[in-house]
Amino acid sequence: MSEDGRVSNWTAPAAAAPVDATVTLPGSKSITNRALIIASLASGPSTIVGALRSRDTDLMIDALTTLGIEITAADDDRTTLRVTPAPLHGGSVDCGLAGTVMRFVPPLAALADGDVSFDGDEQARIRPLDTILDALRAVGAEIAGSALPFTMRGTGSLRGGSVEIDASGSSQFVSGLMLSAAAFDEGIAVHHVGKPVPSMPHIDMTVEMLRRAGVRVDTPETGGDANTWRVYPGPITPTEWIIEPDLSNATPFLAAAAVTRGRVRVPNWPQSTTQPGDVIREILALMGARVDLTAGILTVEGPDTLRGIDFDLHDVGELTPTVAALAALAEGPSILRGIAHLRGHETDRLAALTTEIVRLGGRAVETDDGIRIDPAPLRSGTWRAYADHRMATAGAIVGLRVPGVEVDDIGTTAKTLPGFEKLWDAMLSTSITSEVGS
Ligand SMILES: O=C(O)C1=C[C@@H](OP(=O)(O)O)[C@@H](O)[C@H](O)C1
Ligand SMILES: C=C(OP(=O)(O)O)C(=O)O
């Protein structure tokens, strides 16, 4: 759905020629929403430069503002934000379909003086949440409910302490607990038990950003305890956050080069990063593309023959829809593994991807922990997005090579990349520099 609530059908443009474009991406959702939480609990005002403005980040801004934080955008630039902390009070939070809002805000809301009610989109109500709410209860919070909608009965402080959780369903349980924990009386020690935690780079991102703001954090690597992350109580330093471009959102554009024998350049690609999107370089190279990162510009050139891939995406599950679209257009079989937890993303992504690939004549089957995709000619038809921004962009990739693919709800890309269609059209309109703005 688009921001104004309309469902918008969109015929994905087929590439008449190899794409040749430079695409500048807006800021990272994950870094922006972490910066907003950390800045809200800091000991003074912080600045965020290059913030993503999208449904997920605007929901985060609204949530924090509702609880008392002052967040203002620069007059001439919506992506520059000033965040001024204030005592937190009760309110009502709309999580939309944003995992980062529904998992990162409740720990902060436990510090509010008053009730904070949470709700979200219908699909958000079935996303896993009880793990983090149970953890908050175990460290002193009073909460009515165990999924959306629920109410946090804030008392102005939270004890904190040690808690054991099974975070195999989402890394966001660990990140959410850590992000606000410096403001808990005893900080927090999160001990994970269960199958491996997915999306570890996102936990690394949390740790790195907390440390940048002066928070003391122990990890399994630095603290000595396997599967335990510890955040010590203490002040959070006001910080100037410079947000990297969203590398996961870059992947459909890079895929466009890979499937059209074209060339796409993405400037401002970080030399080192905790964003999982960086792994697209390895994936595209394995599929046969030429990948080069020089002077901050990532260039991908598509191969004559796109190879299938056997890849464990457990750490970088966010990339699955893009990789599945690539695999559906590849010459050989692909196996995408390690991603059972994607059944709890915006939609059940394993079911959604296999259904949509098969609907267009492709060969895809769900496995216990992923998808197997075999080469088959695809035909025109409707590609359903299931209110999932990355399903929508996966349909756009397929449509580059299969004329007549209609994405039923391209507006859902506004979750993290408003203006996606404009940017996609600009990429296709030849070798030009295209930018999506605020
Ligand atoms: O912490 C984050 O910013 C995210 C963590 C990951 O969640 P899961 O661990 O639930 O996959 C990722 O898929 C999501 O898009 C963003
Ligand atoms: C899983 C995703 O989002 P969320 O932050 O809502 O979990 C995603 O963006 O791929």
**CA 98 – CA 61 distance, rounded (Å):** 12
Whether 43 has a binding-site annotation, put simply, is: no
Chain CA centroid to CA 119, Å: 19
pLDDT at 321 over 50: yes
This complex has an ipTM of 0.99
pLDDT digits (tens, 9 = 90+) for 14-31: 999 999 999 999 999 999
Ligand 1 within 6 A of 198 CB? yes
Mean of the pLDDT values across residues 94-112?
98
Which residues participate in catalysis according to the annotation? 318
Give the helix, strand, coil percentages of the chain, each rounded to 5.
35, 25, 40
pLDDT at 401 over 60: yes
By DSSP bridging, strand 89-94 and strand 113-119 are parallel
The bound ligand whose nearest atom lies closest to the alpha carbon of 345 is 2
By DSSP bridging, strand 310-312 and strand 334-337 are parallel
Chain CA centroid to CA 388, Å: 11
pLDDT at 327 over 60: yes
**CA 51 – CA 334 distance, rounded (Å):** 35
DSSP 194-242: SSPPS-HHHHHHHHHHHHHTT--EE-HHHHS-TTEEEE--------EEE
**CA 4 – CA 418 distance, rounded (Å):** 12
Chain CA centroid to CA 128, Å: 16
Please give the pLDDT value at position 225. 86
pLDDT digits (tens, 9 = 90+) for 274-318: 999 999 999 999 999 999 999 999 999 999 999 999 999 999 999
Q: What is the pTM of this model?
A: 0.96
pLDDT digits (tens, 9 = 90+) for 66-79: 999 999 999 999 99
Closest CA to 287 of 248, 261, 250: 261
**CA 168 – CA 166 distance, rounded (Å):** 6
Mutate to test the pocket of ligand 1, among 132, 173, 177, 202 (most ligand atoms within 8 A of CB): 202
Burial pattern 181-203, b for ≥16 Cβ within 10 A else e, equals bbbbebbbbbbbeeeebbbbbbb
pLDDT at 405 over 80: yes
Nearby residues of 276 by Cβ (< 8 Å), 6 or more positions away = 199, 201, 202, 247, 248, 315, 316, 317, 318, 319
| Ligand 2 atom 8 nearest Cα | 318
pLDDT band at residue 223 using 50, 70 and 90 as cut-offs: confident
**CA 43 – CA 49 distance, rounded (Å):** 19
pLDDT band at residue 7 using 50, 70 and 90 as cut-offs: low
Mean predicted lDDT score pLDDT of the chain: 96
| Ligand 1 atom 3 nearest Cα | 30
**Dihedral pair phi/psi, residue 263, rounded to 5°:** -140, 125
pLDDT at 386 over 90: yes
DSSP H helices in 52-199: 55-66, 99-109, 130-138, 172-179
pLDDT band at residue 430 using 50, 70 and 90 as cut-offs: low
pLDDT higher for 53 or 430?
Answer: 53
pLDDT at 328 over 90: yes
pLDDT digits (tens, 9 = 90+) for 128-187: 999 999 999 999 999 999 999 999 999 999 999 999 999 999 999 999 999 999 999 999
Mean of the pLDDT values across residues 24-52?
98
- Number of Cβ within 10 Å of residue 341's Cβ equals 22
